[in-house]
A = this chain, B = another copy of it.
Amino acid sequence: MREVFQQSLRDVQDRLVLIAELVEQAITEATTAFGSSDVGIAEKVIDRVEEIEILAAELDQLTIDILARQQPVASDLRLMVGALRMSASLERMADLAQHIAQLARYRYPESAIPAGLTKTFARMGALDVEMARKIVDLLRTQDPRLIAEVRDLDDDLDELHAKVFEKVLSDNLAETPANVVDSTLASRYHERFGDHAVGIARQIQYFISGSLD
């Protein structure tokens, strides 16, 4: 029975890694689409998020089947419940990548980004991409050093999020209301993406150490 569970666990892990890889790809492309107002890439991201939703639903079903058939207890049970939570976070990260791509498509052929914020959003996107990549590695290796790295990246992201509002509210930017709306939403989406990455990192830390902090 133990061996069966170990095999199930590897299956769950492999699926989480696959979904995380697709999320990394989605946020990478969403960042490109948003930065360069590339509506073709934006549509690719938007279309592909459905695939991630299906994979996440299949993973949830598998997890529930394992709970029902193998009835794990103690730490094994926690791993399964944790997998359900991580699956929900990854799905939400994919949604957020989709929202960023939708902003780019909606405003096309205009840019959704006011001129003074191009670099800030490029940096926010790069941070999200880096966090997504570290989540892939963390799911694969459970290397605890990655947990602190994800948190540090999220701190940088929060600083940039605050900076977007400062810039938007200063009079130096000759922004239109549309630019203000887009910047506000995009910044919020990037920040939430980072929050979900931290949530996954915390979940894995809990498995490794048995403690949430």
Contacts and interface: CB of A to CB of B under 8 A. Distances in A.
Interface string A64-79: 1001100101100110
Interface stretch (A21-29, A136-144, A174-182): A174-182
A165 interface: yes
Contact of A77 (B64, B73, B185): B64
Interface string A157-177: 000000001001100000101
Interface string A169-207: 100000101101100110010000000000000000000
Contact of A188 (B77, B168, B185): B185
Interface size bracket, A side: 20 to 34
A85 B88 CA distance: 9
A59 to B, nearest CB: 13
A84 interface: yes
B68 A74 contact: yes
Nearest to A77: B68
A74 B67 CA distance: 10
Contacts of A77: 64, 67-68
A81 interface: yes
Contacts of A68: 73-74, 77
A174 to B, nearest CB: 11
A74 to B, nearest CB: 7
Ranked nearest first, the 6 interchain pairs of A and B with the lowest CB-CB distance are: A180-B180, A71-B71, A184-B184, A68-B73, A181-B184, A169-B177
17 contacts: A64-B77, A64-B78, A67-B67, A67-B77, A68-B73, A68-B74, A71-B71, A71-B73, A84-B84, A85-B88, A168-B177, A169-B181, A175-B177, A177-B180, A181-B184, A184-B184, A185-B188
Interface of A: 64, 67-68, 71, 73-74, 77-78, 81, 84-85, 88, 165, 168-169, 175, 177-178, 180-181, 184-185, 188
